[in-house]
Amino acid sequence: MLSAEKNRRLTQVGPGTPMGELLRRYWWPVATHDMATRVPVKRRLLGEDLVLYRDGNGTVGLLAEQCPHRRAALWLGCTEQEGLRCGYHGWRFDESGQCLEQPGEPAESTFKDRIRATAYPVQELGGLVFAYLGPAPAPELPRYDLFVWEDAWRDIGHAELPCNFVQIMENSVDPYHVEWLHGRYGSFLRELDGRGGPLPVVTKKHVKVAFEVFEHGILKRRVLEGHTEEDEDWKVGHPLVFPHMLRVGAAGLATFQIRVPIDDENTWHVWYQTYRPEGGAPPQESVPVYEVPLRDEKGEYLRDYVDGQDIVAWITQGRVSDRTQEHLGKSDLGVILLRKLYAEQMDRVASGLDPLCTYREPHDVIDLPMEKDKFGSAVEFRQLWTRESSIRYSPIKDEIFELFGDPVPAWVS
Amino acid sequence: MNFCPGCGASLETEASFVQEFWSGADRNFLCWCAACDLLSTVVLPAMIVSHEPEH
């Protein structure tokens, strides 16, 4: 168990909380590229209500939701050639928050020069809009490899999940759940549905797991039954990228699962996929974006695929998992290490230091380690992942199958 | 766990971290001390098993 006080410290993300202050030292995806348009939209990040827009000059802005004039919501507004105009009385603001115009005030008034909306810096990269809500100077936006590869296809799935982000992150340092949640439970559902025998790959038993804190977060390694320490699952492993991402995949197929805290009880989950077969992929005009559904037509949680099973496990832990009631064992050491890492990094921020994964120098790309032959075989893992992950909802799913050219596996029913 | 086994500082501060977990019948506490940065595991064993000398 964890004390109630430590659980609050671990899970509260609002301004002024220790975790909220830590998380405000990072750039966060606040939207996909298609959300930043001339139509202002409401977004919520780290417990703060925001408005995102793209003005006529193409500049993307992110302002606090309430207009500093009479507090109407700025999503009730119009984008102009420059800036966003409040729909209530026409005050206009640029992306720095500076008030540019107050139509109802006397022409000679200098009042506007003293008015600013709360504004946050944004940058676009790889089909996502990133925002920084922390103290100046902002660090560099990390150019992680998947965001910047030029010879890869991408697609972006996303969903709002009604639970705290930490319980989702903990799943990423909990290797044993794979063989049970996806192996046994997933196969159980296949039996009930008459969809054939157990899934390959995810049913393999874990022999050994290891976790290592390194420059990008926590590197996770495993040895599966029938494999050895010479296999890439152990020799290379794959990372939890601190504080908010999992990197997972196999040769040519690499995904970031990005967990964006909306507030204490909700998380925007982004599945950021890249497809990069040997020799590279042909140019892609734009990055497709799609919503990942949580429920079927009967209103039941979808759990007949790997990501759906994860989602339901996370959500059913509660809006904020009550860690005073849990019972951890040795198989939870990865989870414990992650909690300790959050505690340590909160303390660094409280001491005035930059936390782990803060980049102050411009850079071209940050390469992350990830095994190519995952669970023994890149092809088998790709066959599984392209069918049993959120990729099943991608609008370019069939083109992805063609891009890799992997044979249809026998277990597909 | 109230105090760091390394430096003796309180582990009941806001910053320090103590997490209980079980290994068989042994009760374990992973402790991280914000004062000295020591990461340790304190074990409350169900029993102490020693070796038996040859005789």
Residue B44 has pLDDT above 80, yes or no: yes
Q: Which of these, A147, A79, A155, A188, lies nearest to A393 by C-alpha position?
A: A155
Q: Using DSSP, state whether A306 is helix, strand or coil.
A: helix
Q: What does the mean pLDDT of chain A come to?
A: 96
* Domain boundary, last residue among A95, A110, A132: A132
Neighbours of A373 (CB within 10 A): 18
Rounded average pLDDT over A11-25: 98
Q: What is the ipTM of this complex?
A: 0.83
CATH number for the domain spanning A358: value is 3.90.380
Residue A370 has pLDDT above 70, yes or no: yes
The A-side interface with B (CB below 8 A) comprises 1-3, 6, 9, 18, 327-330, 332-333, 336, 339-340, 343-344, 346-347, 350
C-beta atoms of A340 and B34 within 8 A: no
Rounded average pLDDT over B32-43: 95
Claim to verify: residue A151 and residue A46 sit in the same structural domain: no
Q: What confidence score (pLDDT) does residue A265 get?
A: 98
Q: Considering only alpha carbons, which residue of chain B is nearest residue A342?
A: B17
- Does residue A13 belong to any structural domain of this protein? no
Label residue A295 exposed, middle or buried (CB < 10 Å: 0-12, 13-18, 19+): exposed
Percent of chain A with pLDDT over 90: 90
**Which domain covers residue A45, as residue numbers?**
32-132
Nearest by CB: B22 against A6, A328, A343: A328
Residue A402 has pLDDT above 70, yes or no: yes
C-beta atoms of B32 and A343 within 8 A: yes
A68 near A98, Cβ under 8 Å?
no
CATH number for the domain spanning A45: value is 2.102.10.10
Claim to verify: residue A158 and residue A121 sit in the same structural domain: no
pLDDT category at A413 given cuts 50, 70, 90 is low
Residue A406 has pLDDT above 80, yes or no: yes
Q: Considering only alpha carbons, which residue of chain A is nearest residue B36?
A: A344
Q: What confidence score (pLDDT) does residue A347 get?
A: 96
Claim to verify: residue A355 and residue A255 sit in the same structural domain: yes
Number of helices followed by number of strands (H, E) in chain B: 0, 3
C-beta atoms of A347 and B20 within 8 A: no
Q: What confidence score (pLDDT) does residue A274 get?
A: 97
Claim to verify: residue A163 and residue A106 sit in the same structural domain: no
Q: What confidence score (pLDDT) does residue A394 get?
A: 97
C-beta atoms of B34 and A336 within 8 A: no
- Does residue A336 belong to any structural domain of this protein? yes
d(CA A301, CA A207): 31
* Domain boundary, last residue among A132, A155, A171: A132
- Does residue A138 belong to any structural domain of this protein? no
Distances (CA, A) of A324 to A4, A6, A321, A332, B19: 6, 9, 9, 15, 11
- Does residue A170 belong to any structural domain of this protein? yes
- Does residue A139 belong to any structural domain of this protein? no
Per-residue pLDDT tens over the stretch A242-274: 999 999 999 899 999 999 999 999 999 999 999
Claim to verify: residue A277 and residue A204 sit in the same structural domain: yes
C-beta atoms of A343 and B39 within 8 A: no
Question: Which of residues A399 and B50 earns the better pLDDT score?
Answer: A399
Q: What confidence score (pLDDT) does residue A277 get?
A: 94
Claim to verify: residue A256 and residue A349 sit in the same structural domain: yes
Q: Considering only alpha carbons, which residue of chain B is nearest residue A350?
A: B15
Q: Is A249 left (phi over 0), alpha (psi -120 to 50) or beta?
A: left
**Would an 8 Å CB–CB cutoff place B20 in contact with chain A?**
yes
CA angle A14, A20, A26 (to 5 degrees): 125
Give the CA count within 13 Å in the CB-facing half-sphere of A158: 21
Q: Which of these, A156, A220, A258, lies nearest to A374 by C-alpha position?
A: A220
- Does residue A27 belong to any structural domain of this protein? no
DSSP code, position A144: B
B53 min Cα distance to partner chain A (Å): 31
**Would an 8 Å CB–CB cutoff place B32 in contact with chain A?**
yes
pLDDT category at A373 given cuts 50, 70, 90 is confident
Claim to verify: residue A113 and residue A258 sit in the same structural domain: no
Number of domains forming the structure of chain A: 2
DSSP code, position A408: P
DSSP code, position A150: S
Question: Which of residues A375 and A23 earns the better pLDDT score?
Answer: A23
Claim to verify: residue A93 and residue A183 sit in the same structural domain: no
- Does residue A411 belong to any structural domain of this protein? no
* Domain boundary, last residue among A75, A100, A132: A132
d(CA B18, CA A339): 10
**Would an 8 Å CB–CB cutoff place B12 in contact with chain A?**
no
